[in-house]
Chains A and B, each alone.
Chain A
Amino acid sequence: MTGHLLEVENLSVRFHSRGKIVDAVRSVSWHLDRGETLAILGESGSGKSVSASAVMGLIDTPPGEILSGSIRFDGRGILGLSAKDQRELNGRRIAMIFQDTLAALNPVHTLGHQISESMTAHGIPAERARTRAIELLARVGIPEPERRFNEYPHQFSGGQRQRVMIAAAIAMEPDVLIADEPTSALDVTVQAGILKLLKELQAENGMGILMITHDLGVVAEIADRVVVMSQGEVVEQGPLAEVLGAPRHAYTRRLLEAVPGRHGYPAARDLSSEALIEIRGLSKYYGVSAGVLKTPTGREIKALDDVSLTLNKGEVLGVVGESGSGKTTLVNTLLGLVDPTKGEVLYRGKSMLGPGNREIARNVQVVFQDPTASLNPRMKVGRIIAEPWAIHRGVLPRAEWPRRVAELLEQVGLRPEHADRYPHQFSGGQRQRIAIARALALKPEVIICDEAVSALDVSIQAQVIQLLKDLRRDHGLSYLFIAHDLPVVRDFADRTIVMQGGRIVESGITAEIFEHPRHPYTQKLLASRPVEERMRGHITEPAE
């Protein structure tokens, strides 16, 4: 019997889903002590959250099935507790927070109610729970806690909701806080705040934190020890410095290798000054409406405010901004999905906007963020890629389509026979490759990458960026590369533009922006991601 606070030993869990049996985790063991932070690092499908769910008794059987293993908390076996005993534990001794705060909070109850509930569920009288809840709201940094106690989840921002979730979780001063990707959906600046809050709270009450994440940056920021998981197994675990500094397992090494922003800036190239896309004074205002029927209120939101930029031939132009910065509106306007309030968009000197300019628009293609959503689930890959030719008749004779589809698939690193499959049969990274193949079908000069790698795991991210680089080299493409995060841009973009509140706040050569940010916002953005710096502290030298 060991003295660990929480200990998982040899846990194997199996799920019956989607027509097959998935061994979600196999023989997973780890432990957590009071006052320490353990990070479980893994990419999607690695099974990193499963053991935590098992701790909380959240694995429904069926479809789940616990094959073997044990979980001990405070020396007591807690796997397979009765529902009543599990309830005693949940919330009171072990608490948990989740990634998608909008879904994880009940939309029809006030946040105050939901915080109080974690106390009333454990026998605290309602009145006391309320007082404590308001204290907690204040503690996690929600202004005007008295008033906001009675508000609903949708009235809070994502960061605030995560703070509220934390408030509810620490209400009973638990011994363990499990945080399942708590910051992944948040903007970087907000992320930093949440991590800071967690560290403070841990310092205050000495709880153990189990941080489940895919993000090396978060791990580097907060963890004492790291468990690295891949495909349901623990591949490596140890103290942070050891794992990051001297990874023993090849997977860990690959993971570290793939982290963006570690490879220096793109070599300064001789950029042509042949402007492909010119945006001049582009603005888009939205009237604000309210109520069930969206009655206009007369107020206006400036989604884009006098934005001008130029994309030259062969160039990669990074556009970075957090949510609300106007980057999405910028893309939609470029693609003709939204009419600008004023300003113009020129392609080789001709206006791209308006219905008559389909042929011009052909030269500008797009790859969207979510490859799952951007491919029609009921079309075969071959048809998806060939669709541009079906729309633009005359570009390619129909007889040529299969051959060209095969070519394109090979160009993006897939195989010709994949043309006969449906998108759901591919992984996320493969789907993004399909989307890229579709974008290439019309041989465009410009590809707009609208957060094209944001939804992908880091290792996949690196591969897709490499593909984009290769394509630029082979086809002389130019990219307008939109991202919410600076590191991705760092080793890919020749020039970078930083947007905030619909305006361009800073632009310049990428290296310049990173090394000498002038605008306070850029500085803040960089400061929020001290990851690279911190990681550099841990990582001695990338292993060959």
Chain B
Amino acid sequence: MSIFRMAGLLCGVAIGSVVATSAFAQDDANAITIVTPYAFDNIDACNSSSEVGLVVRENVVEALTHLNPESGKPEPRLATSWEQVEPTVWRIKLREGVTYFDGSAFDAEAVSRSIERMFNPKLDCLNRGKLFANIRLTPKVVDSHTIDISTEKPQPLMPIFMSFLTIESPKTDFDAMTSTPVGTGPFAIPQRNAGDAIVLVRQDKYWGEAPAVSKATYVRRDESALRAAMVEVGEADIGLNIAIQDATNPETDPGYLNGETTRLRFSFEGPLADIRVRKAMNLAIDREALRDGLFNQDYAIATQMFLPRINGYNPDMKPWPYDPEQAKSLIDEAKKDGVDVGAEIPLISRINFYANGQETMEAMIAMWQMVGLNVKLQPMERAQWLKLVNKPYAEPRPAMLIQEQHDNNSGDATFTMHFRYHSTGQQSEFGDPELDRLIDAADAASGDERVKLFQQANAYSAENVVPDVMMFHMVNYMRISDRLEFKPDDVTSTMMELSQIKFRGTN
């Protein structure tokens, strides 16, 4: 065979394949395309607490309850009502007349199986790891639409947890993850192979109100500029995670708190063991200048590690003032007492953590330099950074600052407080008996008492421990096509209900 004939043959194959891939085309006025930076590798329902929730949560698989985005209070969804029948047992009434896309009926058995499946050790369920690592839920079917969920210890937060219990079809493989989850939601995922684009199609049998969107396709593009461009030229209707500089028009490019709060954590070592130094470091930062310079007004200066809608948020706390003079005098004081304030303090940052993260770190270092502190940036790749973040820490632990970001989407402060501020917390750097006491007490309490105790713990920590340099409640931007009507909120970063999307005008 001559080389030319060979080339000809390959050309033919190439052209053929191009034509073949272009064969599908869709023309549905109510179909939308959503462009995201996420790979959505595994969209199994039991991963719905991660960004996978953007696709499946409430769209495909519904949870028992739904958190109100403003108040953070649980509202009925697949559960119609719930009550704490015993300290460790919650009884839940389920919605009747609901069926799955695959025809199976939604009932207590399905819920029980779904919970058991989440705890199946053969599956790497993110929901289990993230929310139920220390809480074993034991379901017990009462009748066809009533179920009891019991826990070992009293669990006042059960209604909030229930908003993460996405209940997939009982026909789902119990021992393997699926790339085609089937739920009771308004949308269904047609049969697909893992790796294909994710397409959601409106389900006519949905028990609730029919959404306006008939079909949603999720595509992935890594470059923010490209996502913005795709919406601009009409190739996509919603572009998620648009860079700040691309979010030029507040009408089409709304921002929303993404649930993440950023801070720098102190290791309580070397000069950082001295509270005056920690305070000085907070006083030396001009947070407003940072926000206006590197981010914008949508970003909120944080006083604590979670959003105001979370139980336990203390609204009375004030951000640190910018007072370099006082910072300097605190440092001088410490220096007189023999603290080595001239030591080089590494700032462990994470590469590609969040937009403008690197620049923020650089700007903060410059501010510390002005009060005479010597902080040095040490960027790390994720896996390397992780080694420093979690206990058990390597000994000796050096004096350092660690760049962190945390999202509490659950609605309750305990996820955050215990982990970071309790002496036994996996990411805690210190042990303060009073703070331990407050957190333990709050954990055991419920209702207003619980909220109050967490608020006290937060205030105490900020005043008497100063474990971190609080930064911002972070914002995401999305670009929305002008044919759509949609307003993102605090929870949009992990859950985007397609049923909330409306079309403008008649078409």
* Direct interface between A and B, CB < 8 A: no
Residues of A within 8 A of B (CB): none
Residues of B within 8 A of A (CB): none
